[in-house]
Amino acid sequence: MTTTMGSAAATGVPGILGRARDLVQPALRKAVARLDESSRAQSAYHLGWTDRDGVPAAGNGGKAVRSALAVVSAQAAGAAVETGVPGAVAVELVHNFSLVHDDLMDGDTERRHRATVWSLWGAPSAILTGDAMLALALEVVLDSGSPHTVPAARLLTETTRRLIEGQALDIAFEERDDVAVAECVAMAGGKTGALLSASAAIGAVLAGAGQEVVSALTVFGEEIGLAFQLVDDVLGIWGDPAVTGKPVYSDLHAGKKSLPVTYATTHGGAPGRELAEWLAAPEPSDEAELARVAALVAAAGGREWAVAEAAHRLAAAEQALAPIPAGPRADLIDIARFIVHREA
Amino acid sequence: MTTTMGSAAATGVPGILGRARDLVQPALRKAVARLDESSRAQSAYHLGWTDRDGVPAAGNGGKAVRSALAVVSAQAAGAAVETGVPGAVAVELVHNFSLVHDDLMDGDTERRHRATVWSLWGAPSAILTGDAMLALALEVVLDSGSPHTVPAARLLTETTRRLIEGQALDIAFEERDDVAVAECVAMAGGKTGALLSASAAIGAVLAGAGQEVVSALTVFGEEIGLAFQLVDDVLGIWGDPAVTGKPVYSDLHAGKKSLPVTYATTHGGAPGRELAEWLAAPEPSDEAELARVAALVAAAGGREWAVAEAAHRLAAAEQALAPIPAGPRADLIDIARFIVHREA
């Protein structure tokens, strides 16, 4: 049976995401069930399916926008949504592998208002669980039965390399005082653009789509990745902790060279220079001090630039979809706007 | 041009390993060159190609028995050794991904008489470098151009899952006082058997070999993996630090439930019980105390059992090769004996 995304009862993005989740969740759970006992328990917890004691949780495991992109991606190539499901499972697993490892690397003890895997089970277990999710992502695509399995799996390995490169740059930037906006954009392209791009393209790749369709989806995903990161960076400074699940001013507290901060230090005149000096020698900061620094980023134009740049990227993403049929194109645009127009 | 393993000037195992290394090294270096700057530098160091400052080193990068198994595996299926090269590169990368992560998980600061990656570049970098090697391993096989790419890549993902399961069990056993020999064998099967088994089979899989040949090679590799682990565990207690590169009695110092230790505590009468009591409440131990504990393992029959069991496993490995043509069979047996008959 072929399910058509966007045609059932619920309308708009909640409908698209809900139907994608209904389609992808059983396959994702089946895949995770293959893991060793320890990785399985930690993955189920991380994905929001259980509490830390393994008791099933009420949550539905997050918005799963990457899954939704992957199944709509198959439709964009004229195939059934089911064709995109192994790709959807794989991109969710790659995403969550990177989150489990990133939380450990960054020393974050909370994610989505819950204790992180490493903080509950220790660093060695978190390393293994992430490794297991990465290998499983590839395995799910290899088991897809699609005649286009090899290019789809190849897309995942290349995406993983870009993810890792983005994270490595992020770590390297912490030690540097001279990061340029272009370098920061390249880093964000790796950390966020690569996987959203792969999510938007993998369904079409599994469906054997032509180069024009795959390229359109690739560019679309890359651009919404950058738009997402710009918005995320704004939220990392000015977002409501109750919504973001992170402490107020968390990115400033961590001294992150995020996109708005980098724009501010390199294009922001006097307040930008004051910000750069603070970043070069940050002192232990209370909330009042961090509020002052956040005001410097805004005064230097960092917030305004990031919001405008996110809008440009979103427009570019939508334009890239010209070769895609109207139905899936509308769904992709809805998902893109949903990702970018969060609480920024 | 087709190179035939075992027919050139150098004879015996050094000849087989040397020719495999000559064949595989260029492809391995080309693959590693694809990684991001940080992962590339750390991988080159870890593989022994450079020192910590990136200066080329004189070493040839280790024995590379897994590479040798993979290329002879292709010959075992009647194919050219070249057919096995992408598989050889992949198993080396999976092996080294697991070493980089294991060193971090175990907190080991030295490997092969050199500082470990995490001890030089920090835990976050070591996590990323290992992740990058794992993704690259799959990528190399996906790029092989073989019509049998999917089953070969699938063998790697399953092997990685077993590796992770073995490591997770190893960690879990540290907290337990009741590990049975069968559990310990299952753990060793994951940690060591899985990847040697994949190494011995992947060339044949890439060559499209039939089930009988693939099964024979799989069993062969699994058995030499266990034989290797038994010998390694004996060396971990009684090996010469100058040869093993580890401190004397290192596994006892770490309280490892290795195979000889587990046999001793579960089958070793009075000395075995004394050993179990010591393991349950290990005190800070000087070398004299560790020598006394090592003597308990031997008195409980742990050393003798491990050496005999390694010989049984080696014999079973050789028997499994009955369906393999005489030439590659002889090479595989030579490699197996070389792996198992180290300085035990």
- How far apart are alpha carbons B338 and B16 in whole angstroms? 11
H helices present in B78-193, as ranges: 85-106, 117-121, 123-142, 149-174, 181-188
Asked whether B192 and B228 are in contact (CB, 8 A), the reply is yes
Q: Any CB–CB contact under 8 A between B134 and chain A? A: yes
What pLDDT, on the 0 to 100 scale, is given for residue A43? Answer: 98
What pLDDT, on the 0 to 100 scale, is given for residue A9? Answer: 59
Q: Do B171 and A125 touch (CB under 8 A)?
A: yes
pLDDT of A314 over the 70 cut: yes
Q: Do A157 and B165 touch (CB under 8 A)?
A: no
Asked whether A18 and A27 are in contact (CB, 8 A), the reply is no
3 state SS of A258: coil
pLDDT of A6 over the 50 cut: no
Q: Do A39 and B127 touch (CB under 8 A)?
A: no
As a whole number, the mean pLDDT across chain B is: 92
3 state SS of B56: strand
Question: Which chain A residue has the Cα nearest residue B157?
Answer: A135
Q: What is the mean pLDDT of residues A261-282?
A: 92
Q: Do B150 and A142 touch (CB under 8 A)?
A: yes
- With a CB cutoff of 8 Å and minimum separation 6, the contacts of B133 are B35, B39, B43, B93, B94, B96, B97, B100
Confidence class of residue A226 from pLDDT cuts 50, 70 and 90?
very high
A152 interaction partners in chain B (CB closer than 8 Å): none
In the block, tokens 């994610």 appear at: A111
pLDDT digits (tens, 9 = 90+) for A49-60: 999 999 999 766
pLDDT digits (tens, 9 = 90+) for A282-301: 777 888 999 999 999 999 99
Residue A123, judged by CB atoms within 10 A of its CB (0-12, 13-18, 19+), counts as middle
Q: Any CB–CB contact under 8 A between B172 and chain A? A: yes
Q: Do A139 and B158 touch (CB under 8 A)?
A: yes
Give the lowest-confidence range in A10-24, B86-100, B301-315: A10-24
Q: How far is B243 from chain A (nearest CA, A)?
A: 28
Q: Any CB–CB contact under 8 A between A119 and chain B? A: no
Q: Which of A103, A105, A127 to mutate to test the interface with B (most CBs of B within 10 A)?
A: A127
Q: Do B157 and A142 touch (CB under 8 A)?
A: yes
Question: Which chain B residue has the Cα nearest residue A104?
Answer: B124
What is the DSSP-derived secondary structure letter of residue B190? I
Asked whether B33 and B40 are in contact (CB, 8 A), the reply is yes
Q: What is the mean pLDDT of residues A8-14?
A: 74
pLDDT digits (tens, 9 = 90+) for B255-272: 888 999 999 999 999 999
What pLDDT, on the 0 to 100 scale, is given for residue B286? Answer: 87
In the block, tokens 């198992």 appear at: B340
Q: Any CB–CB contact under 8 A between A117 and chain B? A: no
Q: How far is B103 from chain A (nearest CA, A)?
A: 10
The answer for A11, left when phi > 0, alpha when psi is -120 to 50, beta otherwise, is beta
pLDDT of A17 over the 80 cut: yes
What pLDDT, on the 0 to 100 scale, is given for residue A7? Answer: 44
Q: Do A131 and B130 touch (CB under 8 A)?
A: yes
Confidence class of residue A344 from pLDDT cuts 50, 70 and 90?
very low
Question: Which chain A residue has the Cα nearest residue B136?
Answer: A157
B39 interaction partners in chain A (CB closer than 8 Å): 164-165, 168
Angle, vertex CA B13, rays to CA B186 and CA B98, nearest 5: 35
Q: Any CB–CB contact under 8 A between A266 and chain B? A: no
**Percent of residues, chain B, with pLDDT higher than 70:** 95
pLDDT digits (tens, 9 = 90+) for A68-114: 999 999 999 999 999 999 999 999 999 999 999 999 998 999 988 89
Question: Which chain A residue has the Cα nearest residue B123?
Answer: A105
Of B106, B150, B157, the CB nearest to A149: B150
Q: Do A150 and B149 touch (CB under 8 A)?
A: yes
The answer for A299, left when phi > 0, alpha when psi is -120 to 50, beta otherwise, is alpha
User: Would you tell me how many other CB atoms lie within 10 Å of the CB of residue B286?
Assistant: 8
Question: Which chain B residue has the Cα nearest residue A153?
Answer: B142
Q: Do B139 and A124 touch (CB under 8 A)?
A: no
pLDDT digits (tens, 9 = 90+) for A184-193: 999 999 999 9
- How far apart are alpha carbons B80 and B64 in whole angstroms? 19
pLDDT of A233 over the 90 cut: yes
Q: Any CB–CB contact under 8 A between A165 and chain B? A: yes
- With a CB cutoff of 8 Å and minimum separation 6, the contacts of A261 are A233, A237, A251, A252, A275, A279, A297, A302
pLDDT digits (tens, 9 = 90+) for B234-258: 998 998 887 777 778 888 888 888 9
Q: Any CB–CB contact under 8 A between A82 and chain B? A: no
Q: What share of chain A is helix, strand, coil (3-state, %, to 5)?
A: 75, 0, 25
pLDDT digits (tens, 9 = 90+) for B133-166: 999 999 999 999 999 999 999 999 999 999 999 9
Q: Any CB–CB contact under 8 A between B35 and chain A? A: yes
Q: Any CB–CB contact under 8 A between A174 and chain B? A: no
B169 interaction partners in chain A (CB closer than 8 Å): 36
Give the lowest-confidence range in A137-146, A174-183, B143-152: A174-183
Q: Any CB–CB contact under 8 A between B149 and chain A? A: yes
- How far apart are alpha carbons A307 and A17 in whole angstroms? 25
Asked whether B84 and B70 are in contact (CB, 8 A), the reply is yes
pLDDT digits (tens, 9 = 90+) for A201-215: 999 999 999 999 999
Q: Do A171 and B125 touch (CB under 8 A)?
A: yes
Asked whether B125 and B139 are in contact (CB, 8 A), the reply is no
Q: Any CB–CB contact under 8 A between A96 and chain B? A: no
State CA B70 to chain mean position distance: 13
Q: Do A128 and B167 touch (CB under 8 A)?
A: yes
| Beta partners for residue B111, in sequence order | B114
Looking at domain A12-340, which of 3.30.9.90, 1.20.1250.20, 3.40.50.2300, 1.10.600.10 is its CATH number? Answer: 1.10.600.10
pLDDT of B129 over the 50 cut: yes
Q: How far is B115 from chain A (nearest CA, A)?
A: 19
User: Would you tell me how many other CB atoms lie within 10 Å of the CB of residue A211?
Assistant: 8
In the block, tokens 């994905």 appear at: A47
Q: Do B124 and A37 touch (CB under 8 A)?
A: no
